[in-house]
Amino acid sequence: MPDAFNTVPRTATVSRTTTETLITVTVTLDGKGKSSVNSGVFFLDHMLTNFSKHSGIDLSVECRGDLEVDDHHTVEDIAIVIGSAINEALGDKRGIQRYGWAIIPMDEALARCALDLGGRSYCAVKAEFKRPVIQGFSTEMVEHFFLSLSGTLKANIHLSILEGENTHHKIEALFKSFAYAMKAAVTVTGDEIPSTKGEL
């Protein structure tokens, strides 16, 4: 259910078709963390399912991509469409907390995320991975996923690994820290635009 301050359902469906990918994404910001993710990249599916569960944002992703080439176009374009869908669902961003941050452990790994839904795109990711690929997902695409998402979400996203050795643990901790930061940032806490400019 939407927050008490917000009577309009915050949901959006966005589709994108190119010669490389065919994608449809639906998000519901005031959801229950339910997801259906079919990207063709198994580890990305796992990460997006975790994002949905821990952010509370319902997420549906259907993608047909040119995986016979590699995973780049699929991962990049899904990030673009998810960012667009969340941005559309936010509307004029009236009453949202706007900022979110989280530090999340996963075994030996520790990840940090801080973000601002203030309407400007910027992304910084500080993370190194020993394994180049996990279940079809190129680890070099972690940074590119968040860079692509920040562009259409129109958000500042800062992510970093503070501790860790295991590649799976580090990437999952990053996605979960992003989830909890988003959960806070999209929360409706009032009825005003959270900016001295009067708009975001």
Domain with residue 35: its CATH number is 3.30.230.40
Inside any domain, residue 192: no
The answer to whether position 126 is within a domain reads yes
Residue 147 has pLDDT above 90, yes or no: yes
In a domain, 1, yes or no: no
DSSP tally for the chain: helices H, then strands E: 4, 10
135 found inside a domain: yes
User: Which amino acid makes up residue 61?
Assistant: V
Query: Which pair of structure tokens corresponds to residue 181?
Result: 């930061």
Q: What are phi and psi of 117, to 5 degrees?
A: -90, 40
Domain assignment of residue 2, yes or no:
no
Domain hosting 143: range is 11-185
**Token code pair at residue 107:** 């075994």
How many structural domains are present in the chain?
1
Which pair of structure tokens corresponds to residue 28?
């519901």
C-alpha separations of 93 from 97, 137, 146 in Å: 9, 33, 21
**pTM for the structure as a whole:** 0.96
CA distance 189 to 171: 30
Q: Which percentage of the chain shows pLDDT scores above 90?
A: 93
- Reported as a single tens digit per residue, the pLDDT across 71-128 is 999 999 999 999 999 999 999 999 999 999 999 999 999 999 999 999 999 999 999 9
Q: Which residues contact 61 (CB under 8 A, 6 or more apart)?
A: 23, 24, 25, 35, 36, 37, 38, 39, 48, 78, 81, 82
Both tokens of 62, joined, read 């259907």
Residues 75, 149: Cα–Cα separation, whole Å: 10
Domain membership of residue 198 (yes or no) is: no
* Residue 8 confidence class, pLDDT cut points 50, 70, 90: confident
Interval 48-71: pLDDT, tens: 999 999 999 999 999 999 999 999
Confidence check: pLDDT of 199 > 90: no
Q: 71 in a domain, yes or no?
A: yes
- Report which residue type is found at 128: E
What is d(CA 42, CA 40) in angstroms, rounded to the nearest whole number? 6
Structure tokens at 152: 């259409």
Which tokens is 22 given?
């065919």
In a domain, 101, yes or no: yes
